Amino acid sequence: MATITVWLGSLNPLGTTAVVLVLAFLVGAAVGIERGMSTSSVGIRTCTLVALASAAFADLVVRRVPDIQWGNAFGAVATGVGFLGAGAIIKGSQLRRVSGLGEAGTIWCMAIVGLLLGAREIVVALLVTALVLAVNVLLRPVASWIDRHRALRQPEDDVLDG
């Protein structure tokens, strides 16, 4: 981790920004490809653009805003991306059916990956990316099993309902 920080620190600001933006493009595309292959409504362009925009915003903040105000600036990204995620959540016609929460979560995760990259937290950003991919790939069969199990339940099984 220290090696990456030293290497990034040896670059001029434009070089550092370029490295950050290219990394944001690559991790956003990687998650977006996985999402696109899983028939998610959030795909390669959305994930890449969210990671790229967040990284560019964080890079600008890190280079131009006093350290004490970084939290406010990064909070603005979280708020804005929350609206993007809300657009991915579509309430179905059934009262208990909501879809798009996974897509919204992925969008939010890509924003934090971009912020981490822009803040030069490269190793943590790569770890979060790996964990997002693990959640979306490795937990998919578990989620399907839970959905099948839930479908077998009868309404009278829910003692606390109503």
Global pTM? 0.80
Predicted confidence (pLDDT) per residue in 14-50, tens digit: 678 999 999 999 999 999 999 989 878 888 999 999 9
Whether the CB-CB separation of 42 and 106 falls below 8 Å is answered with yes
Share of the chain above pLDDT 90, in %: 49
User: Is residue 60 domain-resident?
Assistant: yes
In a domain, 161, yes or no: no
Cβ neighbour number for residue 41 with a 10 Å cutoff: 14
**Containing structural domain, residue 113:** 2-153
DSSP percent split of the chain into helix, strand, coil, nearest 5: 80, 0, 20
Total domain count for the chain? 1
Domain-embedded: residue 116: yes
